[in-house]
């Protein structure tokens, strides 16, 4: 394990040399290795065990989403992949990892100033961990997503390699920048779109970016999520994914009161200047919201806030449990897992949510709060449909490098990665092999459903394509 603190005092060229030296103990070609399957354990048993603290009545939704395809299985099986990755050798270089770095946890959003931003967007599992773990999970997700979209195994593997190559090249660029410039750098999504060769594809993507700049209002979700005016406004029920707390739920845990109390307590974790802003709104309504694939079954609620003139603000409170990486990478230094998520998001994102904060309930359960947005302007699903996943893969790889460079040592990582495609090829081989393991695990989940071990919910068709959380 390199002494990262000591290396930080060295100039960039020396840190690059130190990164290159790490190849002796952890050859780059070794990143092609797959976890040993002997004595691996039952992946379904692990998923059931890690779901023990979730809301049990929602688990059929979780299994229904995961059973849809090997790709959706991977999205919900972060705990399984974390266990597998922990069996593999690493360079020893650690970063603030996403922890659940699959391609659906990236997206294009409008910043508060209306600028289009492409970035990571899910941080429930974030923790300090080996940088390779995020890279490998992203690559594996690309292979599975491409196969789901009908691409050949060879093309799917090429997309994974393209993402890793983009990661390596971008990390090399960041290694040559001063710390301030590297920290504030962002992926120039407009420039990347303008570089697309196909004219029709380029025009379509530029149109999406124009829409981002044209809709900067924080209340743009209001017509879809709420009804009524001013203090009488209420969140729309959209069962089984959004609904008001029923009497049974309130008897079990006084869920609505808990959500309201959490929104109140969380205010103290906001920066002082943000408290001036949030104090201009009053909480008008709360409702439960089923989220993602990996997060289904955790407590999550929407709060609709309105100001005296009826302008809305949506906040989301979401339960935070220990990261799936913690058993293998070490526990979080924060007593509240919600704070772990908030600090991780602020570290990894270039433009972060100004309403991020955390709280705990009377029972000691921990949560984080963020602004609820529905501003994704391009997703992997549309890119796959239009045969543009290769562009998206490159974008994700470059973005992940920028995120890792904020907490990790770009020069050290760049020195380890080098200038050749050795690391890229190795991770692409891993991704193709791990896709087969995930496909087999998915088959085991289907069998558990068929045998009656797990119950699946009958989801609305559009709900099966929701992004992971």
- Provide the mean pLDDT of the chain: 87
What pLDDT does residue 296 have? 65
How does residue 160 score in pLDDT terms, banded at 50, 70 and 90? very high
**Contact 166/394 with Cβ under 8 angstroms?**
yes
Element housing 245 (H / E): none
What pLDDT does residue 90 have? 97
- Strand 226-227 versus strand 127-130 pairing type: unpaired
Task: Say yes or no: 325 and 456 in one domain.
Answer: no
Mean pLDDT confidence for 145-153 = 92
Query: Domain span at residue 449?
Result: 4-215+376-465
Mean pLDDT confidence for 298-322 = 91
What pLDDT does residue 220 have? 54
What is the per-residue burial (b if ≥16 Cβ within 10 Å, else e) of 444-456?
ebbebbeeeebeb
Assess whether pLDDT exceeds 90 at residue 113.
no
Assess whether pLDDT exceeds 50 at residue 38.
yes
Task: Say yes or no: 430 and 308 in one domain.
Answer: no
pTM of the model: 0.90
Lowest mean pLDDT among 78-82, 282-286, 332-336: 282-286
- Tell which residue, 344, 446, 415, has the closest CA to residue 7: 415
The residues near 64 (Cβ < 8 Å, ≥ 6 apart) are: 456, 457, 458, 459, 464
Task: Say yes or no: 301 and 164 in one domain.
Answer: no
Mean pLDDT confidence for 124-148 = 97
Task: Say yes or no: 166 and 87 in one domain.
Answer: yes
Task: Say yes or no: 176 and 228 in one domain.
Answer: no
Task: Say yes or no: 185 and 305 in one domain.
Answer: no
- Tell which residue, 48, 76, 49, 44, has the closest CA to residue 144: 76
Mean pLDDT confidence for 417-440 = 98
Task: Say yes or no: 28 and 161 in one domain.
Answer: yes
What pLDDT does residue 61 have? 85
Domain boundary among 336, 353, 371: 371
**Contact 314/221 with Cβ under 8 angstroms?**
yes
In Å, what is the CA distance from 459 to each residue of 60, 71, 299? 10, 18, 19
Lowest mean pLDDT among 105-109, 288-292, 304-308: 288-292
Assess whether pLDDT exceeds 50 at residue 253.
no
Number of structural domains the chain divides into: 2
What share of the chain in percent tops pLDDT 90? 61
Cis peptide before 340 (omega within 30 of 0): no
Task: Say yes or no: 187 and 84 in one domain.
Answer: yes
Name the DSSP class of 104: G
Mean pLDDT confidence for 273-302 = 84
What's the distance, Cα to Cα, between the start and end of the chain in Å? 32
Higher pLDDT pick, 257 / 33 = 33
What pLDDT does residue 460 have? 64
Task: Say yes or no: 54 and 104 in one domain.
Answer: yes
């Amino acid at each position: 394990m390199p002494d990262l603190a000591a290396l930080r005092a060295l100039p960039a060229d020396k840190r690059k040399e130190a990164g290159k030296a790490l190849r002796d103990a952890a050859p780059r070609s070794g990143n092609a290795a797959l976890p040993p399957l002997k004595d691996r354990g039952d992946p379904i048993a692990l998923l059931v065990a890690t779901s023990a603290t979730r809301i049990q009545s929602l688990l059929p939704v979780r299994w229904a989403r995961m059973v849809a395809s090997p790709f959706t299985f991977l999205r919900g099986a972060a705990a399984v992949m974390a266990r597998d990755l922990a069996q593999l050798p690493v360079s020893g270089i650690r970063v603030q990892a996403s922890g659940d770095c699959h391609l659906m946890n990236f997206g294009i959003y409008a910043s508060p100033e209306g600028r289009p931003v492409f970035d990571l967007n899910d941080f429930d599992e974030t923790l300090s961990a080996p940088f390779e773990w995020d890279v490998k999970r992203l690559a594996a997700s690309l292979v599975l997503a491409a196969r789901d979209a009908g691409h050949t195994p060879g093309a799917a593997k090429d997309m994974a390699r393209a993402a890793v190559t983009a990661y390596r090249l971008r990390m090399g660029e960041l290694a040559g920048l001063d710390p301030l410039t590297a920290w504030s750098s962002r992926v120039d999504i407009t420039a990347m779109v303008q570089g697309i060769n196909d004219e029709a594809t380029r025009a379509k993507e530029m149109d999406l970016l124009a829409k981002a700049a044209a809709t900067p209002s924080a209340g743009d979700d209001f017509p879809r999520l709420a009804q009524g005016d001013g203090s009488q406004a209420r969140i729309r029920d959209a069962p089984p994914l959004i609904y008001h707390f029923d009497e049974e739920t309130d008897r079990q845990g006084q869920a609505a009161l808990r959500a309201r109390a959490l929104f109140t307590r969380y205010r103290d974790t906001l920066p002082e200047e943000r408290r001036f802003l949030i104090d201009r709104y009053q909480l008008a309504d709360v409702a439960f919201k089923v989220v993602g694939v990996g997060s289904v079954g955790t407590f999550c609620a929407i709060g609709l806030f309105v100001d005296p003139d009826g302008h809305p603000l949506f906040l989301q409170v979401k339960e935070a449990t220990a990261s799936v990486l913690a058993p293998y990478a070490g526990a979080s230094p924060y007593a509240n897992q919600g704070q772990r998520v908030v600090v991780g998001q602020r570290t990894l994102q270039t433009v972060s949510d100004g309403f991020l904060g955390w709280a705990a309930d009377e029972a000691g359960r921990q949560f984080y709060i963020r602004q609820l947005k529905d501003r994704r302007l391009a997703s992997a699903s549309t890119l796959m449909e239009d045969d543009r996943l290769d562009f998206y893969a490159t974008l994700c790889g470059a973005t992940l490098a920028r995120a890792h460079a904020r907490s990790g040592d770009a020069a050290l990582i760049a020195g380890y990665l080098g200038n050749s495609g050795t690391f890229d090829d190795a991770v692409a081989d891993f991704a193709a092999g791990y896709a087969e393991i995930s496909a087999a695990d998915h088959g085991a989940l289907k069998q558990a459903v068929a045998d009656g071990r797990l119950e699946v919910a009958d989801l609305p068709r559009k709900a099966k394509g929701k992004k992971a959380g």
